[in-house]
Amino acid sequence: MKTMKQYIRKADIALLLLLLLTAGAIWLLPAAKSRTGSDYVQITVDGKIYGTYDLHRDKTITVTQPQKDGTTWSNTVQIQNDTVTMTEANCKNQVCVDTGTISKNGQSIICLPHRLAVQIFKAEDDSDIDAVVR
């Protein structure tokens, strides 16, 4: 009976450890991996949402805006390793490119000449997002 008791105790400990590990893993996992409370990158052009992207999925987005004078405004946004960078823009002042890399909730890159904004935001719930390009 002694061995049986020991067996149960060991099983209990193993179960407890497993529970703790599972709980720990859930807490330690980055929010993005759980699909809720994720970080998103939203690009707005002229105040309208151009696209919403997962911050944790590498992607390069080029936004082009043809102008009446025949030129095309272009901005290239790169999402890589949970950071966002305006890698290229053909705007006059290059402020957006000079902004560098953003990676935190609430940070943004703004290209005033092209009326374009890139912002990182955290959604409490995926249902807050109309359409995420995955």
Applying CB under 5 A, which residues contact Zn ion? 89, 91, 96, 111
> For residues 66 and 110, what is the distance between their CA atoms, to the nearest angstrom?
19
Q: Which is nearer to Zn ion, 16 or 112 (CB)?
A: 112
Q: Which is nearer to Zn ion, 89 or 123 (CB)?
A: 89
Q: In the complex, what is the shortest distance from the CB of residue 78 to Zn ion, in angstroms, rounded to a whole number?
A: 14
Neighbour-count burial for 103-125, b at 16+ CB within 10 Å, e otherwise? eeeeebbebeebebbbbbbebee
Q: In the complex, what is the shortest distance from the CB of residue 70 to Zn ion, in angstroms, rounded to a whole number?
A: 19
Q: In the complex, what is the shortest distance from the CB of residue 109 to Zn ion, in angstroms, rounded to a whole number?
A: 9
Q: Which is nearer to Zn ion, 32 or 91 (CB)?
A: 91
